[in-house]
Every structure is written in C-alpha cells, then in structure tokens.
C-alpha cells in the first residue's frame, strides 16, 4: 500500500503566509523608522552646528507644557552659554516646514535653517525659502520680524515666506516664555481684550455664550455696560490668500454693524496688499451696515487683494447670520438667480485651435498622462495634434489645451475650463490672448520669464499653465514619435 502524504489545509497555509508577511512588514517598519529618526537627528545636529559653529555642546532644554516648540537647545562653548536654538513646525504651501531659529542671549537672531523631512514647497518658488538669499536676511534682526519690511519675501512664494517668518517669530516668543522672560510679550488673551475694548469702548464686560452644534462661529459674546446688553460680538475664521484670517464682528441688537477687527495669530496676508484688510480705511467701511456686505457694491475691495477682501466680507456675513441663528432670528433667504445653461463650445474651441479641421480622432492612451489626445484632420490629411491636460492652479483646476503641427510646434492654445476660478484681474489673465499668444510657434521645453513672460502678480497661475503646456508637448512627442 502506497504511503499517503498529508497535505496542509489551504486555509492554514494562507494564515501562515499572512502572519509571516505581517511580521516581515513590522520588522521592516521598525528598522526603517529607526533609520529615518537617526537621519532626522543627524540633519538637525548639522543645522545646529552650522548656525552656531563655535559651540562644542548643545544641551536639551526643558520645554514647558503648552509651548509651540519641537525642540529647544542651549549652545555652549567650554560651559559658557553662547546661544539658544529652537525648532518650530509651520504649515507652508506644500506641507509642513521645519524652521530652526538661532538667537543670542539677548534674543537677536544669529540665523535660521529651513527644511525638514516633509518639506515639499514648489521647486523654483517656495523652495527658495531654504536658500541663503532668503535665510541670511534674518541675521542680526531682533524679533518680531516683519515680512517685506525687515525681510523681503521670495517672489511668487508669499505663503512659504510668511510661514517661515511665522516660525521664526514663534520660536523667539516661545523661547522667552520658556526662560521666564515675558517682557514685551502680549498674550493672545490680552490682544483679544484690547481688540474688544477698541471695538466697544463703552462695554464693561464681555460674557461668553455657548454655541449650538454646527455653528459657523468660533465664539459668541454679549457685550454689556453695567447690566445692560449693548452689543453682540462674534468671531469667524476664514481662509485668506496666505492663510487663516480671524474676523471679530460687533453688531448692535438689531444686527447692524458697529465695527470689525481683522487679524489673528496666523494672519499672513501679503504685506502692502492683503495686509491692508486690517487697516481702518477698509474695516471702517463696514460700520453702520445693516444689510448683507457685498464686495465692490457696498464695500470697496483693497486694490490688488481680491481674495483677502472677499474673505473678510464672507466672515462678516457669516458672523451676522451666525448671531441671528444663535438668537433664533430668521435669516432672509437670498433671491435665487436663474442660471441660463449655455451650449457647449468644445467644437468651436477646436476650430479656433486648428482652422480647417473637420474631424478629430481621439487616441487611446495607455495611462493618465493626458486628459485627452486627438488628431485633427481635414479629410485624410493630418493638420495637427491636440492634447489636453488639467493642472492645479491657485484657486482650482486649470484646463490647458494645445494644438501642435507635425513638428510639435504650438499652433494654438486654450486655457480655462468649467471649474476655472483664478483671481479676477490677476490669475484670470492666463486665459487672455496677451499671455497665451506668446506660446505660438514654440516647442518644449518652454521656460517661464525667459521664453514666456508670466502674468504680473499671478506667479502660481502662470507656472501651472507653463508646466502643463510642457507636459502636454512632452506627451504628444512621446506618442507620435514612436
């Protein structure tokens, strides 16, 4: 009789494989985690040495609970204190940015280091906040540092520049607090109390009220003069051009505006442009308004700062509506606007791009490198190749469509799309002929501000269009050169 071999049940084999695989992944993760941590520590140590090269030791300092510091070190030489170094993490345009700030014992800046393992600012724009031309400006300055006053921002990288500047100022302030030196430091609570006092000088008390679930308000207070309620105060945070904007709105008991205050600890609108939404020339326009605030109707925008201005207007309207809802007052519904659907003009666009074409043969793509690729023909004759791709602009997606001749030179270009939302008067200009026509006759690689002049004040929109054009050209060449 032949011996029968017993085989292991399939479910047991699968279980063993799963356990072994999971164990392997866990061990790999642990090993990789240690390597990454060591590399990060090495990079930090190199940055500390570069900032304070005379130091022979860097002692870890205690960070009191609640302070916004990743690390705090004292640089010493032969036991003598030379400097303090603090690391903060701030949110940039492309993700978190780590900033190491070195200061002497009088808190004068010795230098800064910018980067981190997750640094992902736009190459050639936000990435320049790491370069000496930017970081060296901080040497010898006493915080708080003002952007575009004490330090020049990186052109076209407002968000990245302001993020680094915020990290530096935060580091100095938190180091002072950690060392028990609060001279010249005004707490956020004190700042807010000063703002409320300026808005309602006759108020003797501000009583915080509970907000219902789902409210768009950050806070709601009743302002009193003695026992008499004289006003309502609401705070709303909205997204501005460069980051969050806090708006405090005060209304009378009929919800007419008494005044507003704009700012917040994370306020980072462009100095000289968006920053002007804090100025009385803009904020005073809201006083006495008893109807919905509308930009460029009853509120004039800050010139060159559409996004910042609209953000404040939106915050004020949210505050008023939020106060009414909290107090059980019915909100008037806005009048509905009839939207007339327009016929698609895709074929018209194609005709503009390729005059004389009567058919467009869509090509099968092996990947998602392009949204669409077509051959434009008249009869059997190939006139052009047409490619379309969507890039991520400042305010949303930007569709770019180009037509090239058989030598891959651009003969037509269209920019826009249904979801196009770049800033009117700035980024919106990438759709205009003055910008687009520069591409006619060119082939990739096309360099911005060398082959093509960018739209003034719209770096991101211009870069996105240019990058998208180059990507389309590259893919058209790759497809039809085979």
Residue 66 has pLDDT above 90, yes or no: no
Domain end marker among 178, 206, 222: 178
**Together in a domain, 393 and 300:** no
Residue 278 CA to residue 291 CA, distance in Å, equals 21
Measured between its terminal Cα atoms, the distance across the chain in Å is: 65
* 54 and 142 assigned to the same domain: yes
List, for residues 239-268, the tens digit of each pLDDT value. 888 789 999 999 999 999 999 999 988 888
pLDDT at 128: 94
Q: What is the DSSP string of 321-348?
A: HHHHHHTTPPPPPPPP-PPPPPPP-HHH
Q: Going edge to edge, which strands form the sheet with 381-392?
A: 359-362, 372-378, 381-392, 397-404, 410-416
Looking at the structure, tell me whether residues 164 and 218 fall in a common domain.
no
Q: What is the pLDDT of residues 289-313, one digit of tens each?
A: 999 999 889 999 998 788 889 999 9
- Flag whether 23 is in a domain: no
- Number of domains making up the chain: 3
User: Do 173 and 197 share a structural domain?
Assistant: no
Mean pLDDT of 347-352: 44
Rg (CA), the chain: 29
Cβ count within 10 A of residue 20? 10
Out of 138, 160, 178, a domain closes at: 178
> Quick check: is 11 in a domain?
no
Instruction: With CA atoms as reference, report the closest residue to 357 among 403, 399, 302, 401.
Output: 403
The model carries a pTM of 0.55
Average confidence (pLDDT) over 4-30: 68
**What's the pLDDT score for residue 348?**
37
What distance in Å separates the CA atoms of residue 438 and residue 451, rounded to the nearest whole number? 8
Residues 6+ apart with CB under 8 A from 259: 199, 200, 250, 283, 284, 286, 287
Domain co-membership, 194 together with 266: yes
Say yes or no: 252 and 174 in one domain.
no
Residue 20 falls within a domain, yes or no? no
Long-range contacts of 69-77 (CB under 8 A, 24+ apart): 69/171, 69/174, 69/175, 69/178, 70/98, 71/44, 72/174, 72/175, 72/178, 73/48, 75/48, 75/102
Is 27 a member of any domain?
Answer: no
Whether the CB-CB separation of 254 and 332 falls below 8 Å is answered with no
> What are 122-163's pLDDT values in tens digits?
888 889 999 999 999 999 999 999 888 899 988 878 888 989
What is the pLDDT, as a whole number, of residue 20?
76
Q: Is 313 found in the same domain as 272?
A: yes
Determine what percent of the chain is predicted with pLDDT higher than 90: 55
Residue 259's domain comprises 188-326
Average predicted confidence (pLDDT) for the chain:
86
> Residue 420 in contact with residue 396, Cβ under 8 Å?
yes
Residues 199-236 have pLDDT tens digits of 999 999 999 999 998 899 999 999 999 999 999 999 99
**Cβ–Cβ < 8 Å for 308, 245:** yes
Q: Are 374 and 251 in the same domain? A: no
9 falls within a domain = no
What was the pLDDT predicted at 27? 65
CB atoms within 10 A of CB 376: 25
Residues 50, 174, single domain; the answer is yes
Q: What is the pLDDT, as a whole number, of residue 30?
A: 59
Q: Is residue 238 part of a domain?
A: yes
Look-up: residue for tokens 């707490």?
A: 187
Residue 426: predicted pLDDT: 86
pLDDT tens-digit map of 445-469: 898 888 999 888 788 889 999 999 9
pLDDT band at 334 (very low <50, low <70, confident <90, very high): very low
320 and 368 in a single domain? The answer is no
β-sheet with 80-91: strand ranges across: 57-60, 71-77, 80-91, 96-103, 109-115
User: In this structure, are 245 and 312 located in the same domain?
Assistant: yes
Q: Can you tell me which residue has the tokens 């500047």?
A: 165
Q: Does 254 fall in a domain?
A: yes
Domain final residue pick, 153, 178, 203: 178
219 in a structural domain: yes
Query: DSSP readout, 17-85?
Result: HHHHHHHHHHHHHHHHHHHHHHHHHHHHHHHHHHHSTT-SEEEE----TT---SEEEEEEETTEEEEEE
150/227 same-domain check: no
């Amino acid at each position: 009789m032949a011996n029968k071999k017993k085989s292991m049940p399939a479910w047991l084999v699968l279980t063993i494989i799963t356990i072994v695989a999971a164990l392997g992944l866990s061990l790999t993760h642990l090993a990789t985690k240690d390597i990454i941590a060591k590399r990060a520590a090495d990079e930090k140590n190199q940055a500390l040495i570069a900032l304070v090269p005379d130091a022979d030791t860097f002692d870890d300092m205690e960070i009191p609970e609640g302070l916004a510091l990743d690390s705090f070190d004292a640089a010493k030489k032969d036991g003598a204190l030379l400097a303090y170094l603090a690391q903060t993490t701030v949110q940039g345009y492309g993700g978190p940015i780590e900033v190491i700030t070195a200061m002497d014992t009088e808190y004068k800046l010795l230098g800064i280091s910018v980067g981190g393992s997750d640094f992902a600012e736009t190459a050639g724009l936000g990435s320049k906040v790491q370069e000496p031309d930017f970081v060296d400006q901080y040497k010898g300055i006493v915080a708080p540092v003002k952007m575009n006053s004490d330090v020049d921002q990186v052109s076209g990288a407002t968000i990245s520049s302001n993020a680094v500047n915020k990290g530096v100022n935060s580091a100095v302030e938190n180091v002072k607090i950690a060392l028990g030196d609060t001279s010249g430091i005004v707490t956020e609570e004190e700042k807010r109390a000063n703002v409320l006092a300026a808005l309602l000088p006759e108020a003797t008390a501000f009583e915080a009220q509970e907000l219902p679930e789902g409210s768009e308000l950050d806070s709601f207070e009743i302002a009193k003069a003695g026992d008499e309620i004289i006003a309502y105060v609401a705070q709303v945070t909205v997204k501005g051009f460069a980051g969050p904007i806090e708006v405090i709105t005060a209304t009378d008991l009929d919800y007419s505006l008494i005044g507003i205050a704009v700012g917040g600890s994370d306020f980072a609108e462009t100095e000289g442009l968006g920053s002007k939404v804090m100025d009385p020339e803009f904020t005073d326009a809201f006083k006495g308004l008893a109807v919905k605030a509308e930009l460029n109707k009853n509120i004039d925008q800050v010139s060159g700062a559409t996004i910042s201005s609209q953000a404040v207007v939106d915050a004020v309207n949210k505050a008023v509506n939020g106060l009414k809802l909290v107090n059980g007052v019915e909100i008037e519904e806005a009048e509905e606007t009839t939207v007339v659907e327009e016929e698609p003009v895709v074929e018209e666009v194609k005709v503009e791009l390729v005059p004389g074409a009567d058919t467009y043969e869509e090509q099968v793509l092996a990947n998602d490198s392009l949204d669409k690729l077509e051959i434009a023909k008249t009869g059997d004759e190939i006139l052009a190749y047409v490619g379309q791709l969507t890039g991520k602009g400042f305010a949303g997606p930007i569709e770019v469509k180009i037509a090239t001749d058989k030598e891959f030179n651009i003969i037509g270009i269209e920019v826009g799309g249904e979801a196009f939302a770049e800033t009117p008067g700035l980024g919106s200009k990438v759709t205009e002929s003055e910008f687009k026509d520069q591409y006619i006759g060119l082939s990739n690689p096309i360099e911005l501000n060398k082959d093509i002049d960018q739209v003034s004040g719209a770096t991101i929109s211009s870069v996105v269009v240019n990058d998208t054009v180059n990507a389309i050209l590259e893919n058209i060449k790759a497809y039809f050169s085979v």
